[in-house]
A and B are shown apart, each in its own frame.
Chain A
Amino acid sequence: MSFRIQKEARQESMLLNMGPSHPAMHGTIRIMLELDGERILNAELEVGYLHRGFEKTCENRTYFNLLPYTDRLNYVSPLINNLGYVMTLEKMLGLQVPEHAQYIRVIMSELSRISDHLTCLAAMAMECGAFTVFLYKIKAREFIWDFIERTTGARMTTSYVRIGGVRANLHEGWREDLIKAIQETRTVLKDVHALLDKNKIFLNRTRDIAVVSPEMAINYGWTGPCLRSTGVYYDVRKAHPYLVYDQLEFEVPLGERGDNYDRYMVRMLEMEQSLRLIEQAMDKLPDRSPAQELNLEGIEPAEAIKISRRKKPGQKIKLSPNLEGMEKENYPLILANDPRYIMPPKEDVYTTIEGLIRHFKYFMKGHGIRPPKGEVYFSVEGGNGELGYYIVSDGTDKPYRLHLRAPCFHIVSALEEMILGHYIADVIPTFGSLNMIGGELDR
């Protein structure tokens, strides 16, 4: 196999391979280094060990079916990927999402962002030797995932954000769960600030290592926390506000020098801002969902179907516990009001013929969501930066082309230039601070 580094290497230097099975829990990247002693003279990266054919698969699935594939892209912040895809489609279809659902989306988005930053910094700290920080942060992440699980049903790959809104309303007793998660995260952040911020060992390993200037960062197409650590003020939530971010107050932390320590610090401060956003969004949401207000005894679905053969059943239908939060009373809060692109409520599907037909046509191949012909690009602020979706539609129910603008692709492509002149041991915290996520990098 011929790599550029093999052709360019000098006779006296040593070629070292930091192979694809990386113990540093970042997944699958291969870094080849040309060393003079311990100093790096030349570097080359090989990616693609996790290329799972996401874009080609999406051309063979309907718009609704490919939602679970988007979860598995940036797998530490799955709800944001979902959100990006769904908002791109909503831009194309022209759907108006109700405000309650927008606040829920903001809460889920920010929780995912906190989870992303926690995981990234936990891995970075662990590789520098701070194992305690790793355990503390994963503990905080568990509380967040507990909250997400009780609402969406899954800890990680949720497929919660749907076209037109969200899948279900927040679960009963969500306020206490969320307050507990926020409290635990704040405690952990305070502890980690105390452990790492002024720690001489951590500072020696991260201060002034892999400094990136703003011009270099913009030339490489960096976005997100890495770009903000160099001092450039660009946040998609402020520049092109989506959802209800223009009505909420939050600050965007900026770094000064663009080294590893600034990238770490920007992420820590961003987590605090995300917690602030969640608290503001929490205040705007009512405590209980309308379905809980009614509190009537319902009839079983089989009985309701029997009654509906003669007339519409007067009583409320008891749905399976898996469909909790999706009751008909919740629909105006969580989903847009457009029968072409939204699933009908299950009560209608069981008891009326129009609901049944609408349900069939939504899922039938060739029918269902068929956006108008054309192409669209929309981006959201992911954990790593600007996560953009470019969809080309030809009028059928499957996308003609779906392309993902992966933020960490551009960030990692700069690594070859960033580590020149440093030592091998500097590669580890540098690589950790870039937050490489294999699912997003390789798609």
Chain B
Amino acid sequence: MGKIIDDLPQWEPHTPIQGGFITTKFNELLGWARKFSLFHYPFVTACCGMEYMSAACAHFDIDRFGAGWTRFSPRQSDMLLVVGTVTQKMAPVLRTVYNQMTNPKWVVAFGACAVSGGIYDNYAVVQGIDRIIPVDVYIPGCPPRPETVLDALVKLQEKIQKHEQEWRWKSK
């Protein structure tokens, strides 16, 4: 075995909304605010990066969905967009970037290689990033069309609306 690095704390999946009327309404308000202002961190590695560039530019704009601002720092972003193949050499880097992001955070696996290893089933490629970090939305395609990316963004926004939000003074 090569050198193994393991430093991920236990992660908790997003849960559906529970609670009384006011908490639920406040939850929905937070969800509405968060879903329409997603700052994403594009973890671009391979060919899908070209389709990411197309989706972010003038023809198929993701700015219309509120996700236009690319924050080039994990600390400042809340959506991690893993674009392209993740190899065994790159895996600890992805884990470090995920750890550095602050809550709440969502992960989108973009492209067949990020979803399941794609057409590369060999010694060097991680067969899907959900073996390393938890994923919220999977976008299939090699590479996916920009319309697919926008559809996935809408689905992520619906998911954000529906699940339990975290806020600082919430009593656990």
A interface with B by C-beta (< 8 Å): 19-21, 23, 25, 27-28, 48-53, 56-57, 68-69, 72, 75-76, 119, 134-135, 138-139, 141-142, 145, 155-157, 438-439
Say yes or no for B123: interface residue by CB 8 A criterion: yes
State which of B44, B59, B97, B145 has its C-beta within 8 Å of the C-beta of A142: B59
Known A23-B72, A56-B122, A155-B145: A50·B46 in contact at CB below 8 Å:
yes
List, sorted by A's number, 8 A–B pairs whose CB atoms are closer than 8 Å. A23-B42, A27-B49, A52-B87, A76-B50, A119-B50, A134-B57, A155-B54, A155-B145
Within 8 A of A (CB), among B14-63: 42-47, 49-51, 53-54, 57-59
B70 → chain A, closest Cβ, in Å?
8
Check A157/B142 contact, CB under 8 A, given A21-B97, A25-B49, A50-B85. yes
Not counting A145-B54, A156-B47, a sample of 8 additional A-B residue pairs whose C-beta atoms are within 8 angstroms of each other reads: A19-B93, A27-B49, A51-B124, A53-B124, A75-B50, A139-B59, A142-B54, A155-B51
On whether the beta carbons of B47 and A75 are closer than 8 Å, the reply is yes
Complex Cα gap A72–B119 (Å) = 10
- Contacts A57-B120, A75-B47 given; indicate if A49 touches B143 (C-beta within 8 A): no
Indicate whether B90 reaches chain A with its CB closer than 8 angstroms.
yes
Knowing A21-B43, A76-B50, A157-B143 are in contact, say whether A53-B90 is a contact too (CB < 8 A): no
Residues of B within 8 A of A157 (CB): 47, 142-143
Question: Which label, helix, strand, loop or mixed, suits the secondary structure of the B interface?
Answer: loop
- CB pair B93–A156 under 8 Å, yes or no, is no
Given A21-B43, A57-B122, verify A51-B58 contact (CB < 8 Å). no
Residues of chain A contacted by B45 (CB below 8 angstroms):
27-28, 49-50, 438
A residues within 8 A CB of B54?
138, 141-142, 145, 155
User: Closest residue of chain B to A68, judged by CB?
Assistant: B119
In the complex, which residues of chain B have a beta carbon less than 8 angstroms from the beta carbon of A23?
42, 72
List residues of chain B with CB within 8 A of the CB of A49: 45, 87, 89-90, 93
- A139–B125 touching, CB < 8 Å: no
Give, as a whole number of angstroms, the nearest-CB distance from B61 to chain A.
Answer: 10
Among residues of B, the one whose C-beta sits closest to the C-beta of A51 is B124
Closest to A24 in B: B72
Please measure, in the bound complex, the distance between the C-alpha atom of A145 and the C-alpha atom of B55, giving whole angstroms.
13
In the assembled complex, the Cα of A406 lies from the Cα of B123 at a distance in Å of: 21
| Cα–Cα, bound, A48→B93 (Å) | 13
Are B119 and A69 closer than 8 Å at their CB atoms?
Answer: yes
- Report if A52-B120 is in contact (Cβ < 8 Å); known contacts: A20-B93, A25-B44: yes
Expressed in whole angstroms, the Cα–Cα distance for A155 and B146 within the complex equals: 10
Query: Among residues 113 to 166 in chain B, which have CB atoms less than 8 Å away from a CB atom of chain A?
Result: 119-120, 122-125, 142-143, 145
Bound complex: CA A72 to CA B94 (Å): 22
* In the complex with contacts A21-B43, A49-B45, A139-B89 CB distance below 8 A: no
Residues A52 and B85 in contact in the complex (CB < 8 Å), given A135-B57, A139-B59: yes
Among B46, B58, B97, the residue within 8 A (CB) of A75 is B46
> Bound state CA distance, A401 and B143, in angstroms?
27
* B120 (CB) vs chain A CBs: closest residue: A52
Once the chains bind, are B120 and A50 in contact (CB under 8 Å)?
Answer: no
How long is the Cα–Cα vector from A428 to B124 in the complex, in angstroms? 29
Which chain B residue lies CB-closest to A442?
B87
Task: Name the contact of A21 in the complex, choosing from B57, B58, B93 (C-beta under 8 A).
Answer: B93
A21 CB contacts on chain B under 8 angstroms = 43, 93-94, 97
Which single member of A25, A51, A134 contacts B89 (CB below 8 Å)? A51
Which residue of B has the minimal Cβ distance to A76?
Answer: B50
| Chain A residues positioned under 8 Å from B87 (CB to CB) | 49-52
Q: Report the separation of the CA atoms of residues A53 and B120 in the bound assembly, to the nearest whole angstrom.
A: 8
Contact of A439 with B47 at beta-carbon distance under 8 Å, contacts A20-B93, A138-B54 already known: yes
Q: How far is the CB of A427 from chain B (nearest CB, A)?
A: 16
Q: A75-B47, A138-B53, A439-B47 given as contacts; is B58 within 8 A of A28 (CB)?
A: no
- B44 neighbours in A (Cβ, 8 Å): 25, 27
Contacts of B57 in A (CB 8 A): 134-135, 138-139, 142
